[in-house]
Amino acid sequence: MVRSTYPELPEQFLLPKEWQRDAFINPDTSHHIHYNYALAGRKPESAKANILILPGLSEFGEKYIEFTRECLAKKYNFYIIDWAYQGRSSRYIPNAHKRHSNGYKTDISDLHYMTQNVITNEKPIIIMGHSMGAHIGLRYLQEFPGVIDAAGFAAPMVGIKDLKYTKSAVEWFLKNLPSIHTCYIPGGKDWYAQARSSDGKDIFSSDPLRDKIHNAWCMSVPELQIGNITIRWVFESLKSCKLLNEKFNISKIKIPVFIATAEHEKLVDNKETEKFAKQLSDVEIIELPNAKHEILMETDEIRSIFTKKFFDLVKKVS
């Protein structure tokens, strides 16, 4: 078991004895990627399936410990990747707080390296992606069909609510002012605790306890701290959303998919998600009443609807 500085949280949100850390360097991207995992038995093949978590923007493995425990209880192996520029993975610009991007193709490549070189047992692989992680997961399903057996997504970033009309302006600035690629978006700044109120009254969660998890870990482990996004991140995200939503690409997704959107969503575009889902061949989509963006950090009542649906999906393919 890996020991670390623990935040002041209940036991269900702290590292289980099965928790492990490791990392790899993807030769195709040169990214140094950190990941966490927990095995349901002594060997990876002892489990019934592999659950691979794709976290959202600025998130990290420790945020999903409660979900780890639930996977282990059902005899599923648990894996979670820290994307480049966040979590414990490497940053590639001087200011480690800036959430930058050098293109979603690199994230997709890092994910493929993990499915091919880290999760090597013969059991089914089911992904669960949140927000930006769901976006990368959907792009991955389009580019690498046949690797993943089923997929669940919470508040997927199919479209970005406040940025849908800004791509041309951002593209112009990046083309004519290349020095701003790594600049924060207007008003952006380094991590500070007050950026999230963490009281169940912000845009992320209505649960006063789970809403504290993100900041609690960031304050205990400073290397997990991430500030706002860069201008290049905005550009790459909008470009990737356009590719994701092309009909030809949507038609490539053939596996069973479950999607949950949040009624009180402020960050991603639920209408774009619904439009996308209608074009999938095997999908269930629900809107969770009273939910905010971080569905797995929501109240028991809201969260349990998602987890039941997701584990029902896992059971079907394992």
Provide the pLDDT for residue 5. Answer: 67
Q: What DSSP string runs through 60-127?
A: -GGGGHHHHHHHHHTTEEEEEE--TTSTTSPP-SS-TTSB--S-HHHHHHHHHHHHHHT--SSS-EEE
Under a CB-based contact definition with an 8 Å cutoff, are residues 33 and 26 in contact?
Answer: yes
* Element housing 250 (H / E): helix 247-250
Does residue 2 belong to any structural domain of this protein? no
Q: How does strand 150-154 pair with strand 257-262? A: parallel
Per-residue model confidence as pLDDT tens for the chain (318 residues) = 444 567 989 999 999 999 999 999 999 999 999 999 999 999 999 999 999 999 999 999 999 999 999 999 999 999 999 999 999 999 999 999 999 999 999 999 999 999 999 999 999 999 999 999 999 999 999 999 999 999 999 999 999 987 766 767 777 777 777 788 999 998 999 999 999 999 999 999 999 999 999 999 999 999 999 999 999 999 899 999 999 999 999 999 999 999 999 999 999 999 999 999 999 999 999 999 999 999 999 999 999 999 999 999 999 999
Does residue 3 belong to any structural domain of this protein? no
Does residue 298 belong to any structural domain of this protein? yes
Does residue 24 belong to any structural domain of this protein? yes
Provide the pLDDT for residue 176. Answer: 77
CA–CA distance, 277 with 112 (Å, rounded to integer): 23
Does residue 4 belong to any structural domain of this protein? no
Provide the pLDDT for residue 104. Answer: 98
- Residue among 45, 56, 22, 49 at smallest CA distance from 297: 56
Please enumerate in sequence order all residues whose Cβ is within 8 A of that of 301, keeping only pairs 6 or more positions apart, or say none. Answer: none
Provide the pLDDT for residue 162. Answer: 79
Provide the pLDDT for residue 4. Answer: 53
Provide the pLDDT for residue 174. Answer: 73
Tokens of 77: 């192996």
Provide the pLDDT for residue 180. Answer: 87
Provide the pLDDT for residue 278. Answer: 98
Does residue 60 belong to any structural domain of this protein? yes
- Residue ranges making up the domain that contains 21: 11-317
CA–CA distance, 305 with 291 (Å, rounded to integer): 11
CA–CA distance, 115 with 189 (Å, rounded to integer): 34
Provide the pLDDT for residue 3. Answer: 45
Q: What is the CATH number of the domain that holds 223?
A: 3.40.50.1820
Binning the chain into helix, strand and coil, the percentages to the nearest 5 are: 40, 15, 45
- Residue among 104, 79, 214 at smallest CA distance from 157: 104
Does residue 186 belong to any structural domain of this protein? yes
CA–CA distance, 215 with 195 (Å, rounded to integer): 9
Instruction: Give the count of domains, the chain.
Output: 1
Its pTM stands at: 0.96
Does residue 290 belong to any structural domain of this protein? yes
Tokens of 170: 């951002």
